[in-house]
Amino acid sequence: MATKSLQSLHHHSLLKRYITDTTAPSTVPSSVFLHPTHTSLSHSLSSSSATFSLFPTTSSTTPSTSPAISFDLLQDHLSAKNFRQADEETRRLLIVLAGEAAQKRGYVFFSEAQFISEADLKTIDDLWRQHSDNKFGYSVQKRIFEKAERDFSKFFVKVGWMKKLDTEVEQYNYRAFPTEFTWELNDDTPEGHLPLTNALRGTQLLNSILNHPAFQGMQEEDKEEDIGNVVDENSSDNGGLKGLSKRISKPDYSF
């Protein structure tokens, strides 16, 4: 009887071991791969060696956004020519579209622009162009930026975000928000003046928007075309904008 009990116990032990060995592989992935560890975005930005993926991300890394984004308020402001309110709504939409982290923070990191879908960014751009006779919008700014040889100093002057100072030596300074910006659509309003993109933390966010895939397919219009007297390096009136960065007052972004 003792021998039979030992055989039964041994058989039970082998069966239990078999079940454990054969089921283990199916349980390992759930504990290893369903709980990835992510580096804090704020920590990554503080590192000079931080890099950001430009490739499509999975649902575990892509910031979640509202399933239904309404552009009705933006359209209402634009159709009523309330451009200042439309500009504020555009900034709000960018924060919402960039994801939960941006919403909690209250502003968008340049690395989060990739999370905004092409369709949503094009919708914002289309509304601005539609209600400004193609004078405002990101795609308009993109075209001007390319013609300015991707030089932000030239671009800022061209779209009217900088003003020439009344000094003997040619100098430029950034306009103060909101009083020194133009909120009306008229003949004197610089092309590409709106929407504004917050440059308080530098130009990286604006650069990310202008280089977003939503605008990569744009065809440049006449690369040899003069981009305007204020950015003409051969201008005899003011010496052009060559070396403009040396003649710009200390940056004071306020928009």
Per-chain mean pLDDT for the chain? 72
Residue 4 belongs to a domain:
no
Residue 69 has pLDDT above 60, yes or no: yes
Q: CA-to-CA distance for 148 and 168, rounded, in angstroms?
A: 25
Prediction pTM value:
0.64
pLDDT at 93 over 60: yes
Q: Which residue has the higher pLDDT, 14 or 140?
A: 140
By C-alpha distance, which of 117, 113, 87 is closest to 101? Answer: 113
Q: Which of 23-32, 63-72, 79-88, 100-109 has the lowest mean pLDDT?
A: 23-32
Query: What CATH code is carried by the domain that includes residue 87?
Result: 1.10.10.1770
Q: Examine residue 202 and state whether it is found in any structural domain, yes or no.
A: yes
Structural domain that includes position 127? 69-247
Number of domains in the chain: 1
The answer as to whether 24 is a domain residue is: no
pLDDT for the residue 86: 98
User: Quick one: pLDDT at residue 248?
Assistant: 53
The answer to whether residue 234 sits within a structural domain is yes
Q: What is the pLDDT of residues 234-251, one digit of tens each?
A: 443 433 444 555 555 554
Residue range 110-121: mean pLDDT, rounded: 96
Q: Would residue 110 count as lying in a domain?
A: yes
pLDDT at 59 over 50: no
Residue 67: its pLDDT value, please? 55
Query: Is the pLDDT assigned to residue 194 strictly greater than 60?
Result: yes
pLDDT at 53 over 70: no
pLDDT digit string, tens, across residues 145-185:
999 999 999 999 999 999 988 888 888 898 999 999 999 99
Q: What percent of the chain has pLDDT over 70?
A: 58
| Structural domain includes residue 12 | no
pLDDT at 141: 97
Cα 86 to Cα 93, 124, 128, 137: the distances in Å are 10, 10, 9, 11
Q: Is residue 228 part of a domain?
A: yes
DSSP 108-133: --GGGGGGS-HHHHHHHHHHHHHTTT
Per-residue model confidence (pLDDT) at position 212: 97
CA distances from 198 to 60, 90, 184, 248 (A): 29, 11, 20, 19
Would you say residue 183 lies in a domain?
yes
* Whether pLDDT at 125 is above 90: yes
Distance CA 47, CA 51 (A): 9
Mean pLDDT for 203-211 is 96
